Amino acid sequence: MAERQVITVVGGGVAGLCAAVALRERGHPVTVVERGLGPGRQSCSWYAGGMLAPWCEGETAEEPVVRLGQEAIGWWADRVPGVERRGSLVLAAARDGPELDRFARRTAAQPGVHHLLNDGGIAALEPALAGRFTRALYFPQEAHLDPRAAMAALSRRFCGLGGIIRYRTEADHLPRGLVVDARGFAARDALTDLRGVRGEMLMIRARDVRITRPLRLLHPRHPLYLVPRDPPNQFEGLYMLGATQIESEDRGGVTARGVVDLLNAAYALHPAFAEAEIVETGADLRPAFPDNLPRLRRRGRRLYVNGLFRHGFLLAPACARMLAEVVADPSFIPEIMDEDHRERSPA
């Protein structure tokens, strides 16, 4: 086993911070360097939905995302407050019933993962939706969190374990030792097959609609997810809306089309959302490899963890665990290690 060594983690987003915590929990001296002024908008984690929904992701994602993502709920709940285990609800308008049937087929790999609800079952879970939908899929094991609060709490945990975070720090002159590169899309200077996938979000306040768990509204062109964002034990009617996934590396603000599509989908979910206040808009690039699966790569004394795509909070715990195992035993080859044998060679 390799002796504990000084490790620098470059990047203070969800991948970097989870890696730093996993390494510090194993006793390694760890410093995180982040060029931003603090936790916030410089990281695409700031705009994440916070859904810990591995079984729902099976509708489009590869099998490793579903399997590895199942670690996330327990991992986050053991380390930060505010993980809500209320499940997920997947809905479709009556005319889009085939979309719901398709979603059910694609997420039925494990028996009991979801239950089909009628209108009464929907109303029992979310009274605000009473009479609006006739069928839904309920995924009772899934959870959600507020990404911004979770990152702040994880930072406090890391520092409480003796870790160090240095903001406003460039990665030009790092101390000797192992470097974990978790810069996300910024790492494309070294990871040439990395691409950015644009995502857009809205934060709205709608005090006339009370939703308590993440909802996914299926639509052939404009799917939507909605995640409650109220502080614990308070109701302010705050919701995050998202779902745009655009093959573009434009880091500009939210487009007019994005806003219209998200608000139209929210209106289809409940008409009261037409009166919602738009609290915030945001857009950023999620780092992805060609197959949309994460990678762990080794280049000399640098380990790259990247490519979490739209599954940052879902896959970061499993990636952090495997990275820590590689640090402990450089001969270990986890399943997310790059397929190129040259990348697998111990440093």
Per the model's pLDDT, the better-predicted residue between 339 and 186 turns out to be: 186
Q: Which part of the chain has CATH 3.50.50.60?
A: 7-47+146-194+290-344
Model confidence at 2: pLDDT above 60? no
Distance between CA atoms of residues 119 and 103, nearest Å: 18
DSSP state for residue 345 in the 8-state scheme: S
User: What average pLDDT does range 75-99 have in this prediction?
Assistant: 96
CB-based burial, 145-163: b 16+ in 10 Å, e otherwise? bbbbbbbebbbebbeeeeb
Average pLDDT, the chain: 92
Q: What is the pLDDT of residue 38?
A: 74
User: What average pLDDT does range 300-308 have in this prediction?
Assistant: 95
Distance between CA atoms of residues 278 and 280, nearest Å: 6
Q: Which part of the chain has CATH 3.30.9.10?
A: 88-140+196-288
Q: Which helix (H) or strand (E) covers residue 302, if one does?
A: strand 302-306
Q: What is the pLDDT of residue 343?
A: 45
Q: What is the pLDDT of residue 246?
A: 83
Q: What is the pLDDT of residue 344?
A: 43
**Which residues are paired to 251 by β-bridges?**
none
Cα-based angle 258, 315, 171 (whole degrees, multiple of 5): 85
Which parts of the chain fold into alpha helices (H)?
A: 14-25, 54-57, 63-69, 72-79, 97-106, 119-125, 147-160, 256-269, 312-328, 341-344
Among 347, 9, 52, 331, CA closest to 187? 9
Model confidence at 290: pLDDT above 60? yes
Residues 6+ apart with CB under 8 A from 29: 4, 5, 6, 7, 162
Q: If DSSP codes are grouped into helix, strand and coil, which group holds residue 231?
A: coil
Model confidence at 269: pLDDT above 80? yes
Residues 6+ apart with CB under 8 A from 35: 42, 167, 168, 169, 170, 171
User: In CATH, what class is 88-140+196-288?
Assistant: alpha beta
* Residue 36 burial (CB count, 10 A): 16
List the structure tokens of 102.
């398709």
Q: Which residue has the tokens 């705050």?
A: 238
List the structure tokens of 207.
């005090």
The per-residue pLDDT for range 159-211, each reduced to its tens digit, is 999 999 999 888 887 878 899 999 999 999 999 999 999 999 999 999 999 99
List the structure tokens of 96.
């889009």
User: What average pLDDT does range 252-271 have in this prediction?
Assistant: 92
Q: What is the pLDDT of residue 87?
A: 98
Q: What is the pLDDT of residue 248?
A: 86
* Residue 264 burial (CB count, 10 A): 15
User: What average pLDDT does range 58-78 have in this prediction?
Assistant: 96
The per-residue pLDDT for range 108-140, each reduced to its tens digit, is 877 889 999 999 999 999 999 999 999 999 999
Superfamily of domain 7-47+146-194+290-344: FAD/NAD(P)-binding domain (3.50.50.60)
Range of weakest confidence among 34-38, 153-157, 232-236, 289-293: 34-38
The per-residue pLDDT for range 199-226, each reduced to its tens digit, is 999 999 999 999 999 999 998 878 899 9
User: What average pLDDT does range 238-250 have in this prediction?
Assistant: 87
pTM of the model: 0.93
Q: What is the pLDDT of residue 3?
A: 55
